[in-house]
Amino acid sequence: MPTVPTVPRPIPLNPSPRALNYLGGYPAHLQQQVQALIDAGKLGEVLRARYPGAHDIRTDKALYDHVTELRSRHLRGAEPLSKVAYDSKIKVIQHALGTHTRISRVQGGQLKAKREIRVATVFRDAPPEFLQMIVVHELAHLKEREHDKAFYALCTHMEPAYHQFEFDCRLWLTARDAGLWAPPGVRA
Ligand SMILES: [Zn+2]
């Protein structure tokens, strides 16, 4: 009697090769590992296990207080910030992301002249580590304009796990686009 064929793995929700646009600056073998997780439908749950938390920095006021506290702890010499806010107009770019550096600029735009820090609204519902990464990144730009050695040294001074968080944040953005990350309160 013939057996019913089993489906070897879940059908990917979004098999588009564009899913890896956030990882363009990383080595091919890492991208292949991520693609395998996407194909298996597991990228979201892997990230959820590693980053189970949520933060309660929901308002612009709470974000301002959080960023200001970090600034005064790590960047005493830097000038005060006139404004810190979530900005729904900042779009995390979806296509042709080729470098490490462009994404963060787009995610968390910083208007240097006015000393404002804006964080894309998508980070309101991000695991706290990813909000921290963006905040640290934009704070570091108060002192270092380019994405150079000095810039990343400042990032890792403020957040020792900065590089891990940046990579995993890109995985998180990838998982969101692939429909593999449920919003808070929604159980898959
Ligand atoms: Zn930047």
For ligand 1, the distance from its centroid to the CA atom of residue 44, given in whole angstroms, is: 26
For ligand 1, the distance from its centroid to the CA atom of residue 187, given in whole angstroms, is: 33
Ranges of H-type helices in 27-127: 28-39, 43-50, 60-74, 100-107
Q: What pLDDT shows up at residue 23? A: 81
For ligand 1, the distance from its centroid to the CA atom of residue 136, given in whole angstroms, is: 10
pLDDT in tens, 109-127: 554 445 788 888 888 999 9
pTM: 0.77
Q: What pLDDT shows up at residue 115? A: 76
pLDDT in tens, 33-59: 999 999 999 999 999 999 999 999 999
**Total length of the chain:** 188
For ligand 1, the distance from its centroid to the CA atom of residue 120, given in whole angstroms, is: 13
Coil, helix or strand at residue 180? coil
For ligand 1, the distance from its centroid to the CA atom of residue 144, given in whole angstroms, is: 9
For ligand 1, the distance from its centroid to the CA atom of residue 37, given in whole angstroms, is: 28
For ligand 1, the distance from its centroid to the CA atom of residue 135, given in whole angstroms, is: 10
Q: What pLDDT shows up at residue 27? A: 84
**Which segments of the chain have a pLDDT < 50?**
1-19, 94-107, 111-113, 188
Q: What pLDDT shows up at residue 106? A: 46
For ligand 1, the distance from its centroid to the CA atom of residue 5, given in whole angstroms, is: 50
45 Cα distance to chain centroid = 16
For ligand 1, the distance from its centroid to the CA atom of residue 2, given in whole angstroms, is: 58
Q: What pLDDT shows up at residue 186? A: 55
CB 132 within 8 A of CB 101: no
184 Cα distance to chain centroid = 16
For ligand 1, the distance from its centroid to the CA atom of residue 24, given in whole angstroms, is: 16
